Every structure is written in structure tokens, then in C-alpha cells.
Amino acid sequence: MSLRKPLALLLVAGALAATSVAIAANAPAGAGGAAAAALPANADLSKIEGIPELEGADIVRGKRMFSSAGGNCLSCHGWDGDGTGKNPRSEGAAALLRESGLDAAGFIQIISCGIPGTPMPYHDSQAYKDDRCYGMVAADFEAGQEPHKGKSIKKDDIVNLVAYIMTSIQGKPKATYEDCVAWFEKSAEKACAFMKQ
């Protein structure tokens, strides 16, 4: 038997395992299994049930987008969405995502288009090339007033990011030590020491 056949079977088995993890991560609230354990501990999946824009969203990937993989939202909004990130452009007072009253469409628009006149960047690569963002194009802005361009994020990942924010940050009370440990995982002892009582 050649070495290729067992290797191919191993790759197929790995792909099937990864597919079942992705499916379970997108399963409704109360779903069990290993993938459910990978969801943020405080994720409330009921908050996105029945929202067409968020159908099929991957909350685990959304958390990665929030932390660094593209969005890097935590640099301004903070790991817990309290608006006190370390990016100097955020002026230490980015939007408090925990207290946000935005719905899914509002979050999608702001992440895609940014907020002109503020440090909030846009992440849609086509923003302001046509009028998809607030009916405006780049030529509508005076010099120095253009919206900030952030790293481009694919539409699917914007949806994943919004699903993470809505299930794990929005409407939650002030972050606790347990929230900090869940966020930082392996580096929690050092990162969360300031929250210990």
C-alpha cells in the first residue's frame, strides 16, 4: 500500500472533523459537543436567532476578527468592549459596545462604512467608491475629513464579527475576572491580575 492513500484518508478525516466543528459552532443555543465549548463562555445565541443578516455566522471566527485577524477592534474598543483600547487614535473613548443599542444592520453598516468625522475606520474595500455608505462617495469629503480606511474585511467576516459582538459583548454587564480569564485563556494569570479581588 502506498503512503499516499493513508495520507489522503487522514486529510479527508481532518476536513470532515473541521466541517463538523464549524457546523456545531453555528448550531442553535443549547447545542452540545466540542464546538459548543469553543464558543465564548458568555455567548447568548438567542440574541441572533431569526436575524437574516447573521444567518450562518461563525461566532468563534468573529471573536478572532475582533481580537486581531483583520478587524483588530480591541485596539480601540478594548477586549471587553468598554471603549478603552490602547490605540491612540481611539482617544481612550471608543464606542462602548456593551451599551450599544445598534441592531445587526447598524453594526454591519458602521463596520463596513466607518463613521465619518470620527476615528472609526471603514472596512469595506469598496466603501466610498460608490454610494453604498450613507449615500456618499470619497469626493463628497473635504481634504482631511475623509473617513479613515481600516484593513479590508470580507462581508462574511463582518457578519461573523457582528454576531460575536451581539452575542458576547452587547448588553452584557461590566466585565468580570471570569470574563477576563475566558478572553485571555493561557495568558489570563498575568493579563487579568488587576481584576482579582
Nearest to 69 by CA among 156, 148, 129: 156
pLDDT for 12-71, tens place per residue? 333 333 333 333 344 444 444 344 447 887 889 999 999 999 999 999 999 999 988 677
What are the residue ranges spanned by the domains of the chain?
1-38, 40-195
What's the CATH fold of domain 40-195? Cytochrome Bc1 Complex; Chain D, domain 2 (1.10.760)
CB 81 within 8 A of CB 56: no
Q: Is 128 left (phi over 0), alpha (psi -120 to 50) or beta?
A: left
- pTM of this structure: 0.77
